[in-house]
């Protein structure tokens, strides 16, 4: 199965993937808030996060995300949109957004515009 | 309307009031946006002879039509005002994500007028515009301001989508060398703008929004952008040099060509280059790239290592920082240069203007014209601690540093040696020696914004031979070349693109992207004409502000003292010889005045 592999070490935080996604799903419209991928910044690190399923309740147990000597909030890489993290909800319609790999066969537009190599389409 | 939002926010700080205005279609067609539009508004609305620090001066933040659309390198937001350092028109380029977020908040432009009674922040969050008191922010550094503002927001996720521009203590204290900082990036060519913002008691502007930016032909636009990304990737200068080291890779190259100034332009080569060239850089920094909005190049480097070349964290110094704060002050230690660059970012000082001032002070001291008593500071070429101490004091206007904070020209004049000021129109030269780059020399004297290389980056052809191969030492064909590049840069800035993209792309490559985005059918000549119109308008502003041919001149050193050693030995600048030809090409008279016909066509 194809999936998008994310290497946060390579991400430069340019957010070109957000715009690519927005264009692919709403013709001619550039708006990061309508994208199904978002890049979150924490200090010097960027976390590209792809929209997963919508959940209507926040989770009860959360682990810490430890990379090197830094501890990050797990919500940063969580793909779900929940009341705690109101991302991936279309502002105008309140409709939850979810990554669809830009159709079948998968050819995600975010990967096409990602020049840093942070996003990669891989076959498992 | 595509690319454009078509709305502008006018804030009057004296009345503590704001209103939203439509931007007339005619202006957008004629001046494209960004720098062009900002210049037009400033030209129409203020008296060019106004005191830059008075409430009558205006401060215009304007994003180009391609910003936020995903156009390659479309991130730049221009800040147009009358400069407090030079008295000419000033146009800084803000990098990072502020420009794009301004578009998403439903605005193309913010015009700031008047002066607030006490420090304020303009906050534009999801269409809610508030002028907030900001007493607790006054005196804070730029990164503190950003963190404080973000943590004051109740929604921590909204804080992640908020972008800020701010001034540091230097701007608050009206130091003319002050600059504006956003997302931790120093703005380009921003000397003299931070003080204008400080004089309005405006500490910061915060933006966040949900609006969309539309493009005319979505499918074609996506195709063109994909092609341009691939094209940039196949250009070795971009994909190998810029992406690996940022502009710092130019240091070694400039040293080989005798362009790198050393000790206040006294010489143009130095032997210890192995400590500072690309090899040293790659072993000094485990470089992590940071990109501005929609930028496939990502030339900004973050450092997070300690080793024998570099200690500390933060942004790796760029060519500009290494040249202006380092070598021109005789300093070759990367750690000190990095710290100095960081202080500039935190305090809100412009590295070229501040570095040039300190280099002038160092030469005064070397020649025995400055005693320790007179400034109570040491200025020895090559001493990094002197530099760091001077920068901090300069920004906070403490003690004797108050006097050097007035800039290199004022300092050189105060001690009776105006010839030691290395700059044009009161602004110190960017770190390129005009004697071994004739085109750059001509650009330095004629630039409307003072001698900054990024308003016509002649380097890319005179040394790197990206578009055509030119001999850096000849004057032949240079006036045409400089004029063309100045016009191209005016267009690129107005659209909101980054100059570095010209290292991998030709101007013609942008045309399909521009047309599919804006729904226009511009040809390259149409756009160049617009570029020329913008340049003439800026010139007209400067003429009315009291500048004329006598200000289009390099310091005597570059005409009279040939380069002493190194690869460009014996070269002098011949910018003065080219000036008449340049004026003629522009259609100006011998005094450098745009003619009546030109003025009417504006």
Q: Is A21 helix (H, G, I), strand (E, B) or coil?
A: helix
Residues of chain B in contact with residue A29, where contact means CB-CB under 8 angstroms, are 212-215, 218
* B238/B77: higher pLDDT: B77
Rounded CA gap, B558 and B126, in Å? 52
Cross-chain Cβ contact B298/A20 below 8 Å: no
Cross-chain Cβ contact A28/B226 below 8 Å: no
Q: Is some CB atom of chain B closer than 8 A to the CB atom of A73?
A: no
Give the other-Cβ count within 10 Å of A68's Cβ: 7
pTM of the model: 0.94
Residues of chain B in contact with residue A28, where contact means CB-CB under 8 angstroms, are 2, 214-218, 221
- The pLDDT score that the predictor gives to residue B274 is 66
Pick the residue from chain A with its C-alpha nearest to B218.
A28
Rounded CA gap, B36 and A95, in Å? 39
Rounded CA gap, B111 and B529, in Å? 26
DSSP secondary structure of B339-394: HHHHHHHHHTB-HHHHHHHHHHHHHHHHTT-S-HHHHSS---TT-HHHHHHHHHHH
Cross-chain Cβ contact B296/A16 below 8 Å: yes
Residues of chain A in contact with residue B101, where contact means CB-CB under 8 angstroms, are none
Domains of chain B: 7-208 (3.60.9.10), 246-428 (1.10.569.10), 438-504+523-601 (1.10.599.10)
Mean pLDDT of B458-469: 87
Q: What is the pLDDT of residues B201-260, one digit of tens each?
A: 999 999 999 899 999 999 999 999 999 999 998 888 888 888 888 888 888 888 888 888
Q: What is the pLDDT of residues B194-203, one digit of tens each?
A: 999 999 999 9
DSSP secondary structure of B167-205: --HHHHTT-TTB--EETTEEPBT-TTHHHHHHHTTEEEE
Residues of chain B in contact with residue A9, where contact means CB-CB under 8 angstroms, are 288
Comparing CB atoms, the residue among B68, B70, B214 nearest residue A20 is B70
- The pLDDT score that the predictor gives to residue A87 is 83
- Range from B159-173, B228-242, B263-277, B456-470 carrying the lowest mean pLDDT: B263-277
CA distance A98 to chain B (A): 18
Rounded CA gap, B382 and B344, in Å? 18
Residues of chain B in contact with residue A20, where contact means CB-CB under 8 angstroms, are 70, 222
Structure tokens at B586: 């522009």
Q: What are phi and psi of B373, to 5 degrees?
A: -60, -35
Comparing CB atoms, the residue among A30, A40, A87 nearest residue B70 is A30
Mean pLDDT of B67-85: 93
Q: What is the pLDDT of residues A8-39, one digit of tens each?
A: 888 999 999 999 999 999 889 999 988 999 99
DSSP secondary structure of B309-348: S--SEEEPP-HHHIIIIIGGGT---HHHHHHHHHHHHHHT
Pick the residue from chain B with its C-alpha nearest to A46.
B290
Residues of chain A in contact with residue B100, where contact means CB-CB under 8 angstroms, are 15
Q: Classify residue B237 by its DSSP letter.
A: I
Prediction ipTM score: 0.93
Residues of chain B in contact with residue A31, where contact means CB-CB under 8 angstroms, are 104, 210-213
Closest by CA position to B278, among listed B239, B245, B317: B245
Q: Is some CB atom of chain B closer than 8 A to the CB atom of A116?
A: yes
Q: Is some CB atom of chain A closer than 8 A to the CB atom of B232?
A: yes
Answer whether B113's CB lies under 8 Å from B14's CB.
yes
Q: Is some CB atom of chain B closer than 8 A to the CB atom of A31?
A: yes
Cα–Cα–Cα angle for B80, B202, B394, nearest 5°? Answer: 85
Cross-chain Cβ contact B157/A113 below 8 Å: no
Domain residue spans in chain A?
2-123
Question: Cα A61 to the chain's mean position, in Å?
Answer: 21
Rounded CA gap, B390 and B359, in Å? 11
Q: Is some CB atom of chain A closer than 8 A to the CB atom of B68?
A: yes
Q: Using pLDDT thresholds of 50, 70 and 90, give the confidence band for residue B373.
A: low
Answer whether B111's CB lies under 8 Å from B25's CB.
no
- Range from A64-78, B9-23, B138-152 carrying the lowest mean pLDDT: A64-78
């Amino acid at each position: 199965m194809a999936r998008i592999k994310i290497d946060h070490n390579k991400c430069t935080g340019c957010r070109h993937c957000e715009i690519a996604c927005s264009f692919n799903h709403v013709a001619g419209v550039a708006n990061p808030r309508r994208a199904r991928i978002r890049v979150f910044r924490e200090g010097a690190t960027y976390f590209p996060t792809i929209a997963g399923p919508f959940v209507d309740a926040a989770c009860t147990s959360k682990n810490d995300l430890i990379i090197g000597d830094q501890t990050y909030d797990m919500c940063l890489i969580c793909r779900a949109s929940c009341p705690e993290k109101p991302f991936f909800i279309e502002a105008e319609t309140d409709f939850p957004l979810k990554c669809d790999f830009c159709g079948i066969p998968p050819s995600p537009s975010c990967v096409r515009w990602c020049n840093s190599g942070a996003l990669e389409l891989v076959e498992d | 309307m595509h690319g454009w939002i078509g709305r502008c926010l006018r804030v009057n700080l004296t009345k503590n009031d704001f209103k939203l205005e439509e931007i007339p279609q005619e202006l957008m067609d004629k001046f494209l946006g960004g720098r062009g539009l900002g210049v037009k508004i400033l030209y129409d609305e203020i008296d060019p002879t106004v005191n830059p620090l008075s409430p009558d001066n205006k401060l215009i933040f304007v994003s180009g039509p391609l910003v936020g659309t995903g156009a390659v390198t479309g991130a730049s937001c221009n800040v147009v005002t009358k400069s407090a350092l030079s008295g000419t028109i000033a146009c800084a380029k803000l990098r990072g994500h502020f420009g794009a977020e301004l578009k998403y908040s439903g605005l193309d432009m913010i015009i700031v007028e008047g002066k607030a009674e006490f420090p304020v922040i303009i906050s534009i969050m999801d269409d809610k515009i508030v002028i907030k008191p900001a007493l607790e922010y006054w005196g804070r550094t730029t990164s503190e301001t950003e963190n404080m503002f973000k943590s004051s927001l109740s929604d921590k996720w909204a804080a992640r989508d908020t972008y800020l521009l701010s001034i540091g203590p230097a701007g608050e204290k009206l130091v003319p060398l002050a600059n504006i900082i956003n997302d931790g990036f120093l703005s380009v060519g921003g000397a003299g703008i931070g003080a204008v913002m400080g004089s309005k008691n405006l500490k910061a502007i915060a933006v966040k929004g949900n609006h969309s930016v539309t493009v005319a032909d979505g499918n074609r636009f996506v195709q063109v952008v994909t092609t341009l990304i691939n094209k940039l990737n196949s250009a070795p200068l971009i994909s190998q040099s810029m992406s690996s080291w940022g502009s710092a890779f130019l240091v070694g190259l400039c040293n080989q060509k005798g362009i790198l100034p050393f000790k206040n332009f006294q010489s143009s080569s130095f032997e210890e280059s192995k400590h500072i060239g690309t090899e040293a850089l790659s072993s000094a920094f485990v470089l992590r790239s940071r990109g501005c909005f929609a930028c496939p190049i990502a030339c900004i480097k973050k450092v997070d290592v300690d080793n024998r070349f570099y200690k500390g964290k933060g942004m790796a110094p760029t060519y500009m920082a290494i040249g202006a704060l380092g070598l021109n002050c005789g300093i070759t230690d990367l750690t000190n240069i990095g710290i100095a660059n960081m202080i500039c970012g935190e305090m809100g000082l412009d590295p070229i203007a501040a570095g040039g001032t300190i280099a002038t002070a160092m030469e005064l001291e070397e020649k025995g014209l400055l005693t320790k008593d007179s400034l109570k500071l040491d200025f020895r070429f090559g001493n990094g601690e002197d530099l760091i101490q001077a920068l901090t004091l300069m920004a906070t206007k403490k003690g004797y540093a108050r006097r050097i904070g007035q800039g290199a020209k004022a300092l050189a004049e105060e001690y009776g040696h105006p010839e030691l000021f290395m700059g044009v129109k009161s602004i110190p030269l960017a770190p390129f020696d005009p004697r071994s780059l004739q085109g750059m020399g001509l650009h330095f004297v004629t630039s409307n914004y003072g001698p900054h290389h990024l308003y016509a980056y002649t380097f890319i052809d005179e040394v790197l031979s990206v578009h055509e191969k030119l001999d850096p030492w000849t004057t032949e064909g240079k006036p045409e070349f400089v004029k063309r590049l100045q016009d191209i840069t005016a267009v690129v800035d107005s659209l909101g693109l980054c100059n570095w993209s010209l290292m991998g792309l030709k101007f013609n490559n942008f045309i399909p992207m521009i047309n599919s985005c804006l729904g226009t059918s511009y040809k390259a000549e149409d756009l160049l004409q617009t570029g020329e119109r913008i340049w003439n308008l800026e010139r007209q502003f400067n003429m009315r502000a009291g500048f004329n041919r006598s200000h289009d001149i390099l310091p005597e050193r570059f005409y009279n003292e040939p380069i002493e050693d190194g690869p460009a030995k014996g070269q002098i600048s011949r910018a003065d010889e080219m000036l008449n030809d340049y004026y003629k090409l522009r259609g100006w008279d011998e005094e450098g005045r745009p003619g009546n016909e030109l003025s009417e066509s504006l």
